[in-house]
Amino acid sequence: MTSSRADYAHVRWLVHDLSRNPKVELQVIALGPHLSPLFGHTGESIAHARGKSRVASFAIEQIECLLDSDTDVGMAKTIGVATLGVADTLARLRPDLLVLIADRYEMLAPAAAALALRIPMAHIEGGEITVGAIDDAVRNALTKMSHLHFACTRKAVERIEAMDEEPWRVTFSGSLSLDTLRRERLLTKLQLENRLGWPLTRRAVIGIYHPVTMMQDTLNEADEVFDAFQAISGQLIFVFPNADAGSRELIRKAEKCVADRRDSRILVNLDHRTYLSLLKHAGALVGNSSSGIIESTPLGVPAVNVGIRQLGREHAANVIDTPANRAAILAAVRRALSIPFRRSIRNLTSAYGEGRAASIVAKTLVRAPLGPKLLFKHTELL
């Protein structure tokens, strides 16, 4: 089950490995932002990936559910619409196992439907902490509703087991998002510029800023953040935010920010390889995206983590935490772009694994005991 460009970028290599396993009949279900023109119609990339492969074989289902809204009410209603569509699809397919990833709010829909239909679930990326987003509660809910767990860090394993999940159900896999770094060669700077169609400066700043969904006003931090972006000299490259309440206003702020900068851009959507190549060749990543926490470290790229959205998430020394305050952000960006700081963050060890997650998850899924042993937790009590 995949709902956005971000989570499909993570599961892409897992889809690749499962689709080549003769023991697996794979179905990929795309919903939510994947089907939205505003967010780049990213669901088409799934079909494109299948079409390019001569070996891969999997079916694709699409579920339209994202409301044309920019409010928390729209988010809540999207969960309801998604539940109706997913319930029909899962009732027809009746899979042996449903794989869910991460913490997007719309993932509550397939989890609720699968629970009612007694379909076992495997959850990827549980056990982490992000204080400033509703993702935190969604993630924990998915953990308790699921039957197999794949954790990105060792501490996440401990947290899942502390939630009374049996240890045999929990596997340390590392983050799926790092598999691309091991399994694909990233683009050179020249190749990247040819693909993008414009030059990239050495000190370019990538901006990815999402709504802070735990706040009553999800844009509470945004004015200070974009005031800081406006004050950053040099090239700015914004990547579209998640489809959360307030995202359209953030897009408007980004558009205003680049309006008078000839060398700056807003990117609606990038495939994961191109995005990681952009990150590798940029000066720094600034915002509140998880990629600033996870993917930036093995690439040796400075990341300025702004505000409370990712508060509590493990990270390495290349990540600079800063409050959502204009002066503090600008000071952190100056530090991140400095030559001494860049030299100090070379060859850091990541808590998120070594880029072998897809293989670990695929092998564990294939070996999973289907039936009552998987579906019933704490069978010793029966």
Same fold, 5-174+356-381 and 185-344: yes
How many whole angstroms separate alpha carbon 242 and alpha carbon 143?
A: 22
pLDDT in tens, 44-69: 778 766 656 555 579 999 999 999 89
Place of tokens 């967010």: 39
Distance between the two ends of the chain, CA-based, in angstroms?
A: 31
CATH 3.40.50.2000 fits domain 185-344: yes
Under 8 Å between Cβ of 110 and 100: yes
Q: What CA–CA distance (Å, rounded) separates 166 from 48?
A: 39
Cα–Cα distance, 356 to 243 (Å, whole number): 29
Q: Which amino acid is at 309?
A: R
CATH class of 5-174+356-381: alpha beta
Contact 182, 295 (CB under 8 A): no
User: Tokens 């599961």 correspond to what residue?
Assistant: 11
Dump pLDDT digits (tens) for 167-223: 999 999 999 999 999 999 999 999 999 999 999 999 999 999 999 999 999 999 999
The average pLDDT across 137-142 equals 97
User: What's the confidence (pLDDT) of residue 37?
Assistant: 73
* pTM of the model as a whole: 0.94
Where exactly are the structural domains of the chain? 5-174+356-381, 185-344
Amino acid present at 207: G
Alpha-carbon span 148 to 152, nearest angstrom: 14
pLDDT tens digit string along 141-153? 999 999 999 999 9
- Tokens linked to 302: 């400075």
